[in-house]
């Protein structure tokens, strides 16, 4: 049985206790073991000119792999450099947790998306903005619908940007059908399922913010678009979110690295934890060159 770490922040571990138990149970069925580790208890850097890692002040012996369910890019990179196989990899995490980088990468591939600006508030002047209000301002590193603002005036925009003035943001034109999106769940670079999320009282459709969810069956052209996006990544598990245009066609919105599965579990019998653990077990059996 190959041993792995399941890395969470301590507050997120409390909120996701049932999902953690689910992952551990499915890992055991797949011939894996998972030990819960808290990101806050790691200390890492360089000791005696070599990369080092400590947990609760003890130098650690690495397991075979780690499932990273928190956003700590430097820790992820350290673990990989020390030889640990990560799900998701640090490279996937780095792009998926930066909305600007995700849009920049996928625009090169011709993926449809809303007109978008990448800005740093301290170097941005509203008179240089090439489109009008209303618009959506998003912290590039935000997730779960947090740090996302509908702004209708320059004053509202400045108030939003002032919350994180030294971080990167994206500004986007409003989607045609605000308050509705489709989340596509991907495991092992394959589509596992999709849900339609909607809200009648918020331009954000996130389930965690009170939105409604229902199972969604992808049309052929939608599946093809998702697969074009997947081609650019080696995804362990992630969510890819799409807005809808007037004809119901997909418009790429964002990608979630540490994706929650409550909507899929609530609307289907798809066992995404089992799919994920089976994918990890299969990857660990393959030669590194694969």
Q: For residue range 115-138, what is the model confidence (pLDDT) as tens digits?
A: 999 999 999 998 889 999 999 999
Could you give the angle at the alpha carbon of 135 between the alpha carbons of 156 and 195, nearest 5°? 120
State the pairing for strand pair 169-173/180-187.
unpaired
pLDDT digit string, tens, across residues 36-51: 999 999 999 999 999 9
**pLDDT over 60 at 288, yes or no:** no
Annotated domain spans of the chain: 2-87, 115-173, 177-281
State the pairing for strand pair 190-198/250-256.
unpaired
The CATH superfamily of 115-173 is: ATP-grasp fold, A domain (3.30.1490.20)
The stretch 233-253 carries a mean pLDDT of 94
Please check whether residue 268 is in contact with residue 193, taking contact to mean a CB–CB distance below 8 angstroms. Answer: yes
Fold assignment, 2-87 = Rossmann fold (3.40.50)
pLDDT of residue 277: 98
pLDDT digit string, tens, across residues 79-94: 999 999 999 999 999 9
> Predicted confidence band at 199 (pLDDT cuts at 50, 70, 90)?
confident
> Predicted confidence band at 203 (pLDDT cuts at 50, 70, 90)?
low
The stretch 216-245 carries a mean pLDDT of 96
Of the candidates 196, 204, 187, the one whose C-alpha atom is nearest the C-alpha of residue 259 is: 187
**What predicted TM-score, i.e. pTM, was given to this entire model?**
0.91
**pLDDT over 80 at 179, yes or no:** no
**pLDDT over 50 at 290, yes or no:** no
Q: What are phi and psi of 118, to 5 degrees?
A: -105, 120
Fold assignment, 177-281 = D-amino Acid Aminotransferase; Chain A, domain 1 (3.30.470)
pLDDT of residue 289: 43
> Predicted confidence band at 52 (pLDDT cuts at 50, 70, 90)?
very high
**pLDDT over 60 at 230, yes or no:** yes
The stretch 9-28 carries a mean pLDDT of 97
Q: What are phi and psi of 230, to 5 degrees?
A: -55, -35
| Percentage of the chain modeled with pLDDT above 90 | 82
């Amino acid at each position: 049985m190959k041993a792995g770490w399941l890395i969470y922040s301590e507050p997120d571990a409390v909120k996701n206790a049932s999902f953690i138990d689910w992952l551990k149970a499915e890992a055991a069925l797949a011939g894996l073991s998972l030990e819960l580790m808290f990101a806050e208890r790691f200390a890492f850097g360089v000791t005696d000119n070599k990369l080092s890692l400590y947990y609760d002040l003890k130098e650690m012996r690495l397991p075979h792999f780690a499932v990273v369910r928190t956003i700590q890019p430097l820790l992820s990179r350290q673990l990989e450099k020390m030889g640990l196989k990560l799900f998701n990899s640090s490279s996937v995490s780095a792009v998926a947790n930066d909305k600007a980088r995700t849009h920049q990468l996928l625009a090169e591939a011709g993926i449809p998306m809303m007109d978008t600006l990448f800005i740093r508030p301290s170097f941005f002047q509203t008179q240089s903005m090439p489109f009008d209000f209303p618009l959506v301002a998003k912290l590039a590193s935000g997730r779960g619908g947090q740090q996302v603002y509908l702004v209708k005036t320059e004053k509202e925009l400045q108030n939003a940007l002032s919350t994180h003035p030294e971080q990167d943001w994206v500004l986007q034109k409003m989607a045609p059908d605000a308050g509705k999106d489709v989340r596509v769940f991907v495991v092992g670079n394959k589509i596992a399922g999709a849900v339609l999320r909607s809200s009648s009282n918020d331009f954000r459709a996130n389930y965690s913010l009170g939105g409604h969810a229902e199972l969604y069956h992808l049309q052929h052209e939608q599946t093809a678009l998702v697969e074009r996006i997947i081609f650019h990544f080696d995804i362990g598990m992630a969510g890819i979110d799409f807005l809808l245009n007037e004809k119901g066609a997909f418009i790429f919105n964002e990608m979630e690295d540490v994706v929650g599965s409550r909507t899929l579990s609530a609307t289907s019998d798809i066992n995404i934890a089992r799919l994920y653990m089976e994918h990890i077990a299969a990857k660990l059996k393959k030669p590194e060159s694969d």
